[in-house]
């Protein structure tokens, strides 16, 4: 911190923050990455932790280990409480404020319950490792309690799983829960038949995977139905508690409810006093800086950015990574007295896995379904895991589970949640 | 439960309970295994979870999965609150009482703070998966906070780790923490040097590994010292709080304190109204039944049993397994109108791993030290893991970590503990 080199502070070590730090590897700067947790989470596979296929440590790696070889990078595990843009300082809960010359905000999103924050306890979403282990505990506990109860209605309720939101996360969760019930647990109980479970996927719009062409939505719906998922489209949730979900048309009693619907940006907009869109994302300039604050950048899910047609960029890992890389390079260029053209997003494709042998994919003009799409999905995800070790462990685990229909991480480890 | 076959209820799915259930596989009985958690924990490797080498799911497997192929076995996840021996019923918190014809208590032990239960928060012990993830979080958080603090004394405190108790668990924890500090984390920090950490192993008696011959104690002490562990023998702990440990001779300020000293049996003795020894273990008859209650057995760490020389049997996995197998067979024999000779314990050996390339071992009259002992230790532990999958994952993880000096599960996942 005593260095004379410009200090780049990156808040958030998700896909955007890590890429920005790496892009500054050879720049004449000091980089400090701040995150409130010690690990970078590979969110695209978080649903596999929530459904007991992978362990938390398979998809989460220590931030400081990722950056250990980068001598100009320091990692601080601390919670940011605000930004003093006048004094160019980031305020921390655990320590003294950190001053910056350049600031990159990459703090992501959290769940939005559309003004019903009281639904959060009943219907957890899936963004962090803790969310995943909590959902895993709830799913597995539901079966355990169903085995114990002597009341038929309560048993039916416990064996009902409702997933709210028919995007990629909802589709992947629904498929995985269906497989747990129909295959993994099929022979493990004596008093209940897990195969009789009801798995309901609720979507407010007219079709699942609304961001993709109708052909892929249709395929996803058919594949889910074959796995035993009940898809209810054009249904709006009007209430939610620990015992079920209220729709306009009536109530579904359920033991486990998972939120895969709305998201809202982290409070970075407030910290910066910057203009935000409806979801709380900061509206950024073409170079991803905050208008009027050329040394402050917002990237990833926290930024409201648009493509050439004016459509918002998708809130996925690649968007964040491209933005991180761009801002890292831009700062390097500025320090060298150069400039860069505005940020341009390239969309590599869309994926969603449906159980253990189906997927849908769109790569440019090409759409794919079925086992081929699943194979492409698997290879792509393993490729993007950090480090050979994790690639190997995850590949082995998937192969093993594929052959045995098992899941290796069926742990209930959240005693506090045993309500 | 409606069956006419005798009902054997097993409380606790540790090594003893699982073996007892398996031994009843072909007996004309119905078996119900009750545990308050859903998993069987392979405790001998729990210290590797606490020190970020393995994931919880690598050493904990769903009980009902272990017994899925045994059609006469039912698994209930429920908490036992007592036993009504007159009515032959096991009382559960979550459900109606379960009646038994034979009862096997295998509920293990928990930590004993010698009357100082207020030390528990400051110095957690290592018995359950939650203990391991909690200790892992504390160890990793200590380094994170040391990196942030600007106060030298506080930094030294945070980088001091005290392990209380010089038995196998204490020795294994101390060695593993030393390796984390000296090797795994050596290059991951910028403001602190993890290699400067102080790791203190406290033992009340005159030498570590007191149950083994002095030659092995000496070797363990030398190997630990080479790893950078400070061993203080004949030191009694007189106080303990979140900021340090008080000895008669003075205080050691510490950021992380781990309890590997005393244990006390679970409250089974109270449930049964049976005679107990000082550690709360139930004094059992030669056939491991409770005197005066021939249909109630107590096995594993919960039982006070003695060898031919009158020495108490060691509280290790093998003891529990042998007892479980014996009682299972005994019940089968009784139902067939036969009887069995009294339980006899065979001691297979003692092991303790010291870091990643040393161990001490005693197998019958043979003692071993060094890399050879470590190799035997590794093979034995992998052999006893349940299922090929876990054997493979653990073997791969160890090999990888051995080559790279890394640890794959460096996750801090206990936000509640962020005091």
Express each pLDDT in B202-243 by its tens digit: 999 999 999 899 999 999 999 999 999 999 999 999 999 999
* pLDDT for res A417: 44
Q: Identify the residue with better confidence: A53 or A257.
A: A257
Q: What is the mean pLDDT of residues B400-412?
A: 77
Q: Report the share of chain A in percent with pLDDT over 70.
A: 98
Q: Residue B338: pLDDT above 90?
A: yes
**For the segment A278-303, what is each residue's pLDDT rounded down to a tens digit?**
889 999 999 999 999 999 999 999 99
* pLDDT for res B404: 75
- Distance (Å, rounded) from C-alpha A51 to C-alpha A177? 7
For chain A, say whether B60 makes contact (Cβ under 8 Å): yes
* Residues of B with Cβ-Cβ distance to A75 under 8 angstroms: 147, 188, 190
- Distance (Å, rounded) from C-alpha A135 to C-alpha A332? 42
For chain B, say whether A400 makes contact (Cβ under 8 Å): yes
Q: Residue B352: pLDDT above 60?
A: yes
3-state SS, residue B144:
helix
Q: Identify the residue with better confidence: B350 or A326.
A: A326
Q: Does residue B136 come out as left (phi exceeding 0), alpha (psi in the -120 to 50 range) or beta? A: alpha
Which of B271-275, B381-385, B392-396 is the least confident region? B392-396
> Mean pLDDT for chain B?
92
**For the segment B119-161, what is each residue's pLDDT rounded down to a tens digit?**
999 999 999 999 999 999 999 999 999 999 999 999 999 999 9
A384 by Cβ neighbours in 10 Å (0-12 / 13-18 / 19+) ranks as middle
Q: Which of A137, A140, A152, A153 is nearest to A191 (CA)?
A: A152
Provide the number of CB pairs (under 8 Å) joining chain A to chain B: 139
Place of tokens 């950056």: A67
Q: Residue B419: pLDDT above 70?
A: no
Q: Report the share of chain B in percent with pLDDT over 90.
A: 77
Query: Which of A68, A389, A411 is facing B57, going by the closest CB pair?
Result: A411
* Residues of B with Cβ-Cβ distance to A147 under 8 angstroms: 75-77
Query: Which of A62, A130, A409 is facing B415, going by the closest CB pair?
Result: A130
**For the segment A377-388, what is each residue's pLDDT rounded down to a tens digit?**
988 888 888 777
Q: Do B57 and A406 touch (CB under 8 A)?
A: no
**For the segment A131-158, what is each residue's pLDDT rounded down to a tens digit?**
999 999 999 999 999 999 999 999 999 9
Chain B segment 107-146 residues within 8 A of A by beta carbon are: 129-130, 133, 140-141, 144-145
Q: Do B76 and A147 touch (CB under 8 A)?
A: yes
* pLDDT for res B3: 52
B82 close to B230: Cβ distance less than 8 angstroms? no
Q: State the nearest Cα–Cα gap between A58 and chain B, in angstroms.
A: 8
* Eight-class DSSP state of B310: S
């Amino acid at each position: 911190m005593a260095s004379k080199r410009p200090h780049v502070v990156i808040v958030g070590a998700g896909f955007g923050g890590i890429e920005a730090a790496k892009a500054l590897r050879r720049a004449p700067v000091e980089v400090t990455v701040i995150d409130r947790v010690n690990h970078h989470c590979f969110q695209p596979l978080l649903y596999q932790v929530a459904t007991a296929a992978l362990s938390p440590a398979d998809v989460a790696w220590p931030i400081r280990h990722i950056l250990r070889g980068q001598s100009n990078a320091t990692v601080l595990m601390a919670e940011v409480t605000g930004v003093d843009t006048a004094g160019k300082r980031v305020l921390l809960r655990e320590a003294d404020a950190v001053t910056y010359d350049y600031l990159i905000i990459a703090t992501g999103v959290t769940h939005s319950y559309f003004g019903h924050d009281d639904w959060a306890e009943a219907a957890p979403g899936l963004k962090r490792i803790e969310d995943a282990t909590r959902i895993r505990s709830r799913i597995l506990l539901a079966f355990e309690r169903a085995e114990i109860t002597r009341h038929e209605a309560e048993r039916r309720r416990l064996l009902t799983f409702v997933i709210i939101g028919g995007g990629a996360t909802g589709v992947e969760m629904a498929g995985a829960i269906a497989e747990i019930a129909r295959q993994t647990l099929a022979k493990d109980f004596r008093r209940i038949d897990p195969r009789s479970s009801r798995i309901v996927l609720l979507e407010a719009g007219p079709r699942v995977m609304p961001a993709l062409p109708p052909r892929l939505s249709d395929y996803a719906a058919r594949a889910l139905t074959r796995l035993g998922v009940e898809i209810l489209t054009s249904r709006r949730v009007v209430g939610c508690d620990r015992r079920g979900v209220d729709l306009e048309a009536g109530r579904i009693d359920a033991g486990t409810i998972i939120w895969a619907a709305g998201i809202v940006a982290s409070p970075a907009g407030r910290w910066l006093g910057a203009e935000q869109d409806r979801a709380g994302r900061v509206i950024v300039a073409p170079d991803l800086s905050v208008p009027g604050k050329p040394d402050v950048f917002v990237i990833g899910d926290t930024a409201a950015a648009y493509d050439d047609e004016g459509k918002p960029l998708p809130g996925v890992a690649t968007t964040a990574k491209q933005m991180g890389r761009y801002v890292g390079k831009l700062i390097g260029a500025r320090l060298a007295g150069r400039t860069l053209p505005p940020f341009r997003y390239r969309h590599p494709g869309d994926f969603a896995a449906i159980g253990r042998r189906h997927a849908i994919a769109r790569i440019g003009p090409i759409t794919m379904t079925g086992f081929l799409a699943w194979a492409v999905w698997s290879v792509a995800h393993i490729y993007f895991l950090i480090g050979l070790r994790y690639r190997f462990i995850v590949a082995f685990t998937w192969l093993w589970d594929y052959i045995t229909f098992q899941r290796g991480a069926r742990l209930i480890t959240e005693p506090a949640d045993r309500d």
